[in-house]
Structure 1
Amino acid sequence: MKNKLSFFVIIGVVFSLVGCSSDYIISTNDGHMMTTHGKPVIDKDTGLISYKDQDGSIHQIHKNDVREIVEK
């Protein structure tokens, strides 16, 4: 009984962590498409969108240069 409970708790934790790490596609006005790791963050004060690429590097792009952001 204890093993079954532990199994379901572990499965629940794994699924909750997987759900948090969605990838997104940023499409720019000039036709470029960038894949992000995790949800991009918009800074309302500066107008910059920060995102982490697939290699783990952090980049920024101005929100006026972005056409759309969609979840992959």
Structure 2
Amino acid sequence: MKQTVLIVIFALGLAACSSEYLIATADGQIITTHEKPELDRDTGMIEFEDDEGRTQQIPQSQVKQIIER
């Protein structure tokens, strides 16, 4: 019984620590990512991993807003 309670508490703790980011683009798209998008200063592109685990890039000029949720 104690083991089950500890597992549930641990699982809830992990879920509370994860962050989701929303990227709003200039053309009205909303892109969801589970990792913080990063700016590649050499190329001027915002790089992130999409929901399917693929690395994506979009020009910084096309990003209107990045929100942590």
Taking only aligned residues, the RMSD between alpha carbons, in angstroms, comes to 2.1
Structure 1 runs (4+) greater than 2 angstroms displaced: 14-19
After superposition, give the CA deviation of every residue in 1:21-59 in whole Å (9 maximum; x if it has no partner). Answer: 411000000100100121011111210011011111110
Give the structure with higher Rg (CA). 1
With normalisation by structure 1, the TM-score equals 0.70
Which of 59, 65, 68 is the matching residue for 2:65?
A: 68
Aligned counterparts of 1:15 and 1:43: Cα–Cα separation in 2: 32
Percent of aligned pairs with the same amino acid: 40
Amino acid at match of 2:46: I
Secondary structure of the structure 2 residue equivalent to 1:61: strand
User: Under a length normalisation based on structure 2, what TM-score does the superposition of the two structures give?
Assistant: 0.73
Q: Which residues of structure 2 form unaligned runs of 5+?
A: 1-5
Residue correspondences, number: 62
Distance 2:29 2:15 in 1: 29
